[in-house]
């Protein structure tokens, strides 16, 4: 049962249009969205659904302000106020990401020499948590995701796909941010670890986080999603060469 | 001075060398603790802009205003020379691509670090030596080398020494010109990681010029892409690199070789 406080809107996208213009390829124009709107409430998980190329990952990146947009507003609730990421200064976007917006991408961007433990602890350190506590919480998260302890001190560059993904998930969930964007968080995981990620998503919802995810795995989607956003209906008229 | 005051305000900076437009009407703001990357190919005006910002080259027109620790903003080229030189020693640092341009080769490693402290008034030998040791450690230089001359150091060690020399006086703003430029890849990774940690820990603002987009991604919060002296695109680092809008930025990003 959703409590009243949990029905607060956390993400409010309106009138979103996005076109890619490929200057290096004859200025081809690819229109991805026209006038797309969606909203997600606290404690709710929305799954983005649609075939490959429907723009699911593009929409996720737009929600994280990683991709820019031509028109519209991308509002997220940050420390009680709605902030439009599309029109905010870079330092505001970074502040919102630090405190409010977590993103688990499909691939881990590894930094040379930085240990797994530090990779996972980093979002907490960025919030000012002291090193000892950040490391404690990172260890708990890594253990929960069954990342072998002997790997914690190593940089994740040489890990397997599944191990890297679990490091990425650990990093995404460790700071318990109010909004989580999950791009196929279970894609290369076995059944046990899939269960584990589903458990983390459920806990996040229970504490009131808004979750937007792409889940190709039907079982995962049915288990965690409260609503499905069908991208087929939003797909803009196909691209035309200009 | 709070985090809400702009640290550096740059307005319409132009600089020509004869017929060549090295800086063409460049404007931006830099906030405390922010890391700004300037990218573009050789000859795009990156280094000229950096030299203008650091008070080393006077622009033909435009304004560069710096807000000091007391919250007072002033045009750096309207200051008297001694005042600007004092800023360069206390509030600012400059890390050159070639460490030999930023080090004193005829004094020891410890002396190079200590000199910056003495410039701002430190006199107690024990304290200066102690600080130098601390900084040797922080930039991962062996303490046993503190009395060696920098010319006996490798390129990577010299670069780390130059960084220590710049950071020891607690600056608020560091200018860096291709700081990893002349180094082997493995040495580069170590230096980048070190820089990343120090910048975050000390909350120092940085303007870093680089032609290496991977370096820019790792270190900077925000990017400006320059071409023919003008800024063609700017924004959050990952936005500019993952969804570049300008034709030239798209060309730069698409020209990176995948390893």
Domain span including residue A96:
1-100+225-242
* Cβ separation B221–A94 shorter than 8 A: yes
A114 domain residue, yes or no: no
Query: Residue A228: is its pLDDT beyond 80?
Result: yes
* Cβ separation B251–A113 shorter than 8 A: no
Q: What is the pLDDT of residue A239?
A: 41
pLDDT range class, residue B259, cuts 50, 70, 90:
low
Task: Judge whether B84 and B78 are in contact, CB under 8 Å.
Answer: no
Partner residues linked to A214 by β-bridges: A183
A120 domain residue, yes or no: no
* Cβ separation B245–A21 shorter than 8 A: yes
A143 domain residue, yes or no: no
A132 domain residue, yes or no: no
What are the tens digits of pLDDT across the range A135-154? 999 999 999 999 999 999 99
Count of the separate structural domains present in chain A: 1
**Minimal Cβ distance to A91: which of B31, B243, B250:** B31
Report the alpha-carbon distance of residue A185 to residue A203 in Å, rounded: 15
Query: Residue A225: is its pLDDT beyond 90?
Result: yes
**Model-wide pTM > 0.95:** no
Q: Which residues of A touch B7 (CB under 8 A)?
A: none
A213 domain residue, yes or no: no
Q: Which residues of B touch A20 (CB under 8 A)?
A: 243
A14 domain residue, yes or no: yes
Task: Judge whether B237 and B66 are in contact, CB under 8 Å.
Answer: no
Partner residues linked to B16 by β-bridges: B21
Task: Judge whether B171 and B204 are in contact, CB under 8 Å.
Answer: yes
Q: What is the pLDDT of residue B9?
A: 97
Chain B, residues 1-60, CB within 8 A of chain A, namely 31, 34
Report the alpha-carbon distance of residue B56 to residue B77 in Å, rounded: 10
Assign residue A60 the CATH number of its domain.
3.40.50.300
CA angle (B70 as vertex; B66, B75 as ends), nearest 5: 25
- Could you tell me which residues come within 8 angstroms of residue A184 by beta carbon, excluding any fewer than 6 positions away? A106, A214, A215, A216
A56 domain residue, yes or no: yes
Query: Residue B151: is its pLDDT beyond 50?
Result: yes
A160 domain residue, yes or no: no
Report the alpha-carbon distance of residue B202 to residue B217 in Å, rounded: 19
Report the alpha-carbon distance of residue A38 to residue A10 in Å, rounded: 11
Which has the closest alpha carbon to B209: B7, B53, B31?
A: B53
């Amino acid at each position: 049962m959703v409590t009243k406080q949990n029905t607060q809107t956390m993400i409010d996208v309106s009138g979103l249009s996005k076109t890619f213009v490929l200057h290096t390829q004859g200025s081809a124009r690819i229109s991805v969205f026209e006038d797309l709107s969606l909203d997600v409430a606290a404690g709710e998980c929305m799954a983005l659904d649609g075939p490959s190329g429907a723009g699911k990952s593009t929409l996720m990146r737009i929600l994280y302000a990683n991709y820019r947009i031509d028109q519209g507003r991308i509002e997220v609730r940050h420390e009680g106020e709605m902030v439009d990421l599309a029109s905010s200064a870079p330092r505001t976007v970074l502040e919102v990401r630090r405190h409010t917006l977590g993103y688990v991408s499909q691939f881990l961007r590894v930094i040379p020499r930085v240990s797994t433990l530090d990779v996972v602890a980093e979002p907490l350190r960025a919030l000012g948590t002291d090193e000892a506590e950040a490391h404690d919480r990172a260890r708990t998260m890594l253990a929960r995701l069954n990342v072998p302890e002997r790997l914690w001190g190593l940089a994740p560059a040489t890990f397997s796909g599944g191990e890297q993904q679990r490091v990425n998930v650990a990093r995404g969930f460790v700071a318990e941010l109010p909004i989580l964007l999950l791009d196929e968080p279970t894609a290369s995981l076995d059944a046990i670890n899939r269960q584990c990620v589903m458990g983390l998503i459920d806990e996040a919802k229970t504490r009131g986080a808004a979750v937007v995810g792409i889940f190709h795995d039907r079982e995962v989607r049915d288990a965690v999603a409260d609503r499905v956003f069908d991208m087929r209906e939003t797909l803009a008229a196909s691209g035309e060469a200009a | 001075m709070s985090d809400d005051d702009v640290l550096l305000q740059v307005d319409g900076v132009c600089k020509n060398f004869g017929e060549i437009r090295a800086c063409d009407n460049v404007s931006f703001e830099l906030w405390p603790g922010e890391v700004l990357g300037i990218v573009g190919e050789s000859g795009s005006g990156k280094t000229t802009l950096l030299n203008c910002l650091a008070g080393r080259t006077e622009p033909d027109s435009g304004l560069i205003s710096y807000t000091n620790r007391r919250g007072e903003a002033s045009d750096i080229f309207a200051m008297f020379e001694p005042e600007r030189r004092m800023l360069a020693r206390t509030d600012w640092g400059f890390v050159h691509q070639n460490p030999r341009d930023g080090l004193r080769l005829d004094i020891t490693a410890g002396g190079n670090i200590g000199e910056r402290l003495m410039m701002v008034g430190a006199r107690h030998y024990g304290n200066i030596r102690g600080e130098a040791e601390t900084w040797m450690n922080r930039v991962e230089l062996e303490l046993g080398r503190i009395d060696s001359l920098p010319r006996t150091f490798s390129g990577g060690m010299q670069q780390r020494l130059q960084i220590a020399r710049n950071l020891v006086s607690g600056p608020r703003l560091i200018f860096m010109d291709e700081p990893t430029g002349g180094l082997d890849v493995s040495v580069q990774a170590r230096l980048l990681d070190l820089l990343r940690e120090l910048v975050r820990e000390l909350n120092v603002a940085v303007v870093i010029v680089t032609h290496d987009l991977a370096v820019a991604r790792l270190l900077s919060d925000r990017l400006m892409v320059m071409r023919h002296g003008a800024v063609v695109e700017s924004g959050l680092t990952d936005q500019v690199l993952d969804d570049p809008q300008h034709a030239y930025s798209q060309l730069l990003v698409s020209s990176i070789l995948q390893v």
